[in-house]
Amino acid sequence: MKTIRLHPGKERSLLRRHPWIFESAIARGGGDSDETVRVVSHEGQFLAWAAFSPHSRIRARVWSFDEAQRIDASFFEAACDRSVRARARFGIESDGLRLVHGESDGLPGLVVDRYADTLVAQFTSAGAERHKQTLADALLCATGLHKLYERSDASARKLEGLLPATGWLRGGPASAEAPAPPLELRIHEHAWQFAVHIAEGHKTGFYLDQRDNRRRFADYAERLRFARVLNCYCYTGGFTVAALAGLRAAGVQGAQVWSIDSSAPALARARAHVELNGLDASQGHFLDADVNAALRQFLQQGERFDAIVLDPPKLAPTIAHAERAARAYKDINRLALQLLAPGGVLFTFSCSGGISADLFHKIVASAGADAGVDAYILERLGGAPDHPMTLAFPEGEYLKGLVVMRKA
């Protein structure tokens, strides 16, 4: 077994059970890409078993802190079973949910989502890639399902020296002539339905992490009876459905919900989701446009909205991108706050790992100052519980959100 030895003092994070070992922490030693290595302190004390990745700044990712643990099929079977059983205790009202959330579930570089009767997996680290077939078998055993589709097309694979890979890992067609399983699936979320295309959608097909925030937005729409709603970066219309469902529950007549995205196919799916849920299509307006430009145009036209959702794509994947991303976040939040009617509510989010919750708060506060708007922070939001942050791995908290109400 190959060994990596750390510089003096670099063992502290591992003693706190943090699973990442950066290149700068290693004094000597190494291994082949995806090889399991023994990690020891400068003095030779055992610290962990980890998967080595010579191409990544995160040079090794921990599988186990137990010296007696063997990293074999039994290890992965137990880890997958433990992760799946945990979700059964989270009280999730959906058959679309995350079953494995990487490091937070002790399986670094592996993300697995369930959509109805199908699993969709992303293998984004060298270690997860090496054990892909073993993990696929373990996941099907833990869930009792038979179909697993791979969506290993995330940019993180490039950092690990891996090429993109997509397609059926398990349960695909038995031959070229055999019919393939459907790639478009329907899931239930709270009282709603959504269609998910697992081969084409963002991430593994859908933004499952916003599940509870969509429900929260519906609650606000029902309670505050919004007349005009603006959903920016709407993708396939999750928050649009939530707004219209909340307004229907409140018996609001004549409310209008604008949904903006720069993807025509996404907007088409958003329209379809409104119809799928039996909502009033006449209340929905779908705009194929750049969000920043659309917000500026609305402002020039003197428009005002009772509620706005800002859920932009990832702008800062790492801290190195934070400064530029902060300017972009500030600009769209400034425009949104100016467009809010007095007493209006802004649901604003960042899914960027390089933007901390504290920094995001400061960005929105600075946007308010530039907009000349004061507002209450009513709530702080995060990802749904099946996308957990753990005590040892705070980096699992990538989704941050604020509910802001403009002072009347």
**Beta carbons within 8 Å of 70's beta carbon, 6+ residues apart:** none
Query: b vs e for 112-130, b when ≥16 Cβ sit within 10 Å of the residue's Cβ?
Result: bbbbeebbbbbbbbbbbbb
Q: Given the DSSP bridges, would you call strands 36-40 and 3-6 parallel, antiparallel or unpaired?
A: parallel
**Sign of the alpha-carbon torsion through 347, 275, 188, 255:** positive
Write the CA distances from 389 to 203, 306, 334, 392, 399, integer angstroms: 19, 32, 29, 8, 10
- In angstroms, rounded to a whole number, what is the distance separating the alpha carbons of residues 50 and 130? 13
80 in active site: no
Please state the φ and ψ torsions of residue 333, each to the nearest 5 degrees: -70, -35
| Three-state secondary-structure class, residue 136 | helix
- As a whole number of angstroms, the distance between CA 313 and CA 227 comes to 27
Bin 103: left if φ > 0, else alpha if -120 < ψ < 50, else beta. Answer: alpha
The encoded tokens of residue 404 equal 């802001």
Please check whether residue 208 is in contact with residue 120, taking contact to mean a CB–CB distance below 8 angstroms. no
What is the distance between the terminal CA atoms of the chain, rounded to a whole angstrom?
Answer: 66
Cα–Cα distance, 36 to 263 (Å, whole number): 42
72 three-state secondary structure: coil
Q: 120 — phi, psi (to 5°)?
A: -125, 125
Of 220, 197, 201, nearest to 347 by C-alpha is 220
Catalytic residues: 351
